[in-house]
Amino acid sequence: MSKLNHIVILTGAGISAESGIDTFRSEGGLWEQYPIEQVATPEGFAADPALVHNFYNMRRAALKTVKPNAAHIALAKLEKGLHARGGSLTIITQNVDNLHEQGGAENVIHMHGILTSLLCQFCGHRWEFHEDTSPNDNCIACQRSAGPRPDIVWFGEMPYELDRIDQVMSQADLFVSIGTSGAVYPAAGLVSEARRRGTKTLELNLEESQGSYLFDESRLGKAGDIVPEWVSEVLTA
């Protein structure tokens, strides 16, 4: 493998599922108990903020019970290794957990938000928060009641940091997709954008995805197995 200096990685639910995080498709998980329209849309929050706060309180509590797996830790190792030789790694994640950070990664873009942050719907202030919330909580900046909401991109809302994502994609030697079906836009368009720019592409996934045919190479298996193997290849090239 030729030496790579600037790598951009998109991670999806598959990498966190191996740590025990519920996904949309998890049987018996939280998402099966609540209609998406009620807990993951602005309209659902407006209709029943208590239900939404309770749902994300449960997700936040569940996050405290899991740990980063070998794939998260390997990506943090890759970040440090690339930095040591003057390169860079940017992780763009569709996941709202903080397992990349727990695993040691620092340069992470949470395009769909993160469970451990709140956003004031009035003044736009956001802050780190790890405990339970309720509909009558005050914003720590503007002090308005009922201001805080989960800092999560809900259906119908625009993902975060699209300009920054475009910037790092323009500088990438390699684009890698890990643990994602490639079905949700705009993340689904990143491999096509990489191909248009002439950037090499690699998919690491449990099984073939809808977009597997778009990648230069596709490797199948558990993220905890194939990600550390690939990272070792990169760092020894």
- What count of other Cβ atoms lies within 10 Å of the Cβ of residue 81? 16
Share of the chain above pLDDT 90, in %: 84
Answer whether the bond into residue 135 is a cis peptide, omega within 30°.
Answer: no
Average pLDDT over residues 166-179: 96
More confident residue, 100 or 186: 100
**Can 112 be counted among the known catalytic residues?**
yes
Chain-centroid distance, C-alpha 174: 18
**Cβ distance 170 to 94 under 8 Å?**
no
Quote the pLDDT of residue 29: 54
Q: Record the tokens describing residue 185, joined without a space.
A: 């836009």
Q: What is the pLDDT of residues 139-165, one digit of tens each?
A: 999 999 999 999 999 999 999 999 999
- Torsional sign, CA 49, 50, 54, 60: positive
Share of the chain above pLDDT 70, in %: 93
Q: How many residues does the chain have?
A: 237
Of 53, 72, 100, 112, the active-site residue reads 112
- Torsional sign, CA 227, 230, 236, 237: negative
Quote the pLDDT of residue 228: 98
Average pLDDT over residues 118-144: 97
What residue ranges define each of the domains in the chain, with the CATH number in brackets? Answer: 6-21+69-112+159-236 (3.40.50.1220), 30-65+118-152 (3.30.1600.10)
